[in-house]
Each structure stands twice: as C-alpha cells, then as structure tokens.
Amino acid sequence: MQLQIIGHTAPFPAPGLACPGYLVTEGETRILIDGGCGVLERLLTVCACEELTAVLLSHFHFDHCSDLFVLRYALDASRRRGLRTEALPIFSPSEPPELAGLLTYREATRHVAAIPGETLCLGAIRVRFLAAEHTLPVLGMVLEGTTGTLAYSADCRWGDGVVATARGADLFLCEATFQDGEEDAAGATGHLTARQAAMAAGRAGAGRLLLTHIPAAADRQVSLEQAHADVDLPVALAEAGRTYCV
Ligand SMILES: [Zn+2]
C-alpha cells in the first residue's frame, strides 16, 4: 500500500502547496482522504478523478473538504463523457447535514454516512473509522492493506482517542498544528502540538510518524525537532508529492 501526500498545509493553502489531501493506493484501488483547498488541481497531476475508488472525508472544516464540492463537477463531466458509470462514494460524518447532503451530486457522487467503529472494504483496502475529538464530529481512520497499516489522526486534540487511532499502525499520519508552549491553544481549538503527536505515536506503538497539518507560517523544522525530543521512533515531515510505502 502506498500513501502519496497531495497537500498538507492548513488551514489555508500557500503558493504551490495545497491543504490536506492524501492518496492511498494498492493495486487498482485508489482512495482519496480529505480534499481541501488546492487538492483537486494537485491530484489531477497523478490520478484521473474517474479512477478513484472512494473518498474518505474526516470532517467538514473547509481546509479538508472545499475541493470535494468541485470534484463533483469533474466527476459529472467524466460521467457524461462515458468515462465512469457509477457514482463515486464519499464517506464522511453525517454532520452538518446541510454540507453532507451536498456530497450527493446528480449521479456523479454519492454521500455515505460513516460511523465510528464501522469497518468496510474498499477494493484491496480495509478501512476502519474511529471517533476523533475536535470541535465538530471528526473521523480518525485506519487503512489496512496487504503490506501494512496506515492510521490517520485527522484533526484532533490530545486524549485517549488519538492514541487508539494510532495503535499498532506501521505509519501514523498525524496532525501537528501547534508547537511547544501552544498547548492551551491546541486544546481549545481541538488540535495537537508536534510533541503530543509524537507522544500518541509512542504510546500506541506506531512504527513511524509523519507530521502533517502544520501551518505554512510555522517553522516545520522546529515541529520536527520537538516531535523527535521524547520518542524513539522515526519521525518525518509530510512532503507534498512524496510517496511513502506502508
Ligand atoms: Zn484542519
């Protein structure tokens, strides 16, 4: 199974750098996780939208979902050209319903309410959703392929939930929005510091940690150093365009 970083910055893009979007592939299976601002343009350089098996949306903050509303148009065009016949399933929380409802568009896309604890098979990949603690309903995710397990924190604050999501993952893709000294802001806004991301990975016994969701204005090397400080496992910064084997 492979993870390609389409975008990783938040909560708004930077020149040449998209908000969170991650492409997970195994064989013919192609799953897009999240689709924030700038993701669709970057995605189309590596994958035609009609080739997608499914989309998994962690939550309805716009840095994670905005481009999915445009992806609807691209898939509708694909359908009219005969490139795809089935609606693309988009799994997400069901709240807020006024946004979830927009993910069903003509016969191009179909919203599917995802429930924490639920497991499903999408092509060659088994997906499990977990509840994450944030400021609105969020799904953490565990994706199991034939070669390994990827866990994704989505946006979440420190707590048992993020450790449970990372438990036993070979690769833990974890948000690290804040840095040392910003723990109060992190807790109040439902996010993690880089050090907390590493603590979660360490407690969960994850094999490797990949830091994401770091604002473009932050010094990412500082985040990396703070994550490294307390744990003895490989830690790296998510790099746009790069592919990681899981
Ligand atoms: Zn976010």
pLDDT digits (tens, 9 = 90+) for 145-181: 999 999 999 999 999 999 999 999 999 999 999 999 9
Dist. CA 83 → ligand 1 center (Å):
32
Dist. CA 54 → ligand 1 center (Å):
20
Dist. CA 152 → ligand 1 center (Å):
13
Contact call for residues 18 and 6 (beta carbons, < 8 A): yes
Question: 99 is written with which tokens?
Answer: 């946004």
pLDDT at residue number 66 = 98
Dist. CA 173 → ligand 1 center (Å):
13
Question: 235 is written with which tokens?
Answer: 């830690």
Dist. CA 223 → ligand 1 center (Å):
17
Averaged pLDDT score across all residues of the chain: 97
pLDDT at residue number 75 = 97
Edge-to-edge strand ranges of the sheet holding 149-152: 119-122, 125-132, 138-144, 149-152, 171-175, 208-212, 235-237
Whether the predicted pLDDT of 246 surpasses 90: yes
Neighbours of 110 (CB within 10 A): 16
Q: Do you know the residue count of the chain?
A: 246
Place of tokens 């010094």: 219
User: Which residues lie near ion ligand 1 (Cβ < 5 Å)?
Assistant: 10, 63, 155
Dist. CA 91 → ligand 1 center (Å):
17
Dist. CA 68 → ligand 1 center (Å):
15
pLDDT at residue number 53 = 98
Percentage of residues in the chain with pLDDT exceeding 90?
Answer: 99
Q: Per residue in 21-40, pLDDT tens?
A: 999 999 999 999 999 999 99
pLDDT at residue number 244 = 98
21-26/2-7 β-pairing: antiparallel
Dist. CA 62 → ligand 1 center (Å):
8
Dist. CA 40 → ligand 1 center (Å):
16
Dist. CA 76 → ligand 1 center (Å):
27
pLDDT at residue number 149 = 98
Q: Per residue in 64-114, pLDDT tens?
A: 999 999 999 999 999 999 999 999 999 999 999 999 999 999 999 999 999
Q: Could you tell me the pTM of the whole model?
A: 0.97
pLDDT at residue number 157 = 97
Contact call for residues 32 and 77 (beta carbons, < 8 A): no
Dist. CA 84 → ligand 1 center (Å):
30
Which domains, and CATH codes, for the chain?
2-245 (3.60.15.10)
For residue 57, the Cα-to-chain-centroid distance in whole angstroms is: 7
Q: Which amino acid is residue 230, in one-letter code?
A: D
With cut-offs at 50, 70 and 90, classify the pLDDT of residue 144: very high
pLDDT at residue number 169 = 98
Dist. CA 9 → ligand 1 center (Å):
9
Mean pLDDT lowest among 131-135, 138-142, 210-214:
131-135
Whether the predicted pLDDT of 7 surpasses 90: yes
Cα–Cα distance, 243 to 246 (Å, whole number) = 10
Whether the predicted pLDDT of 230 surpasses 90: no
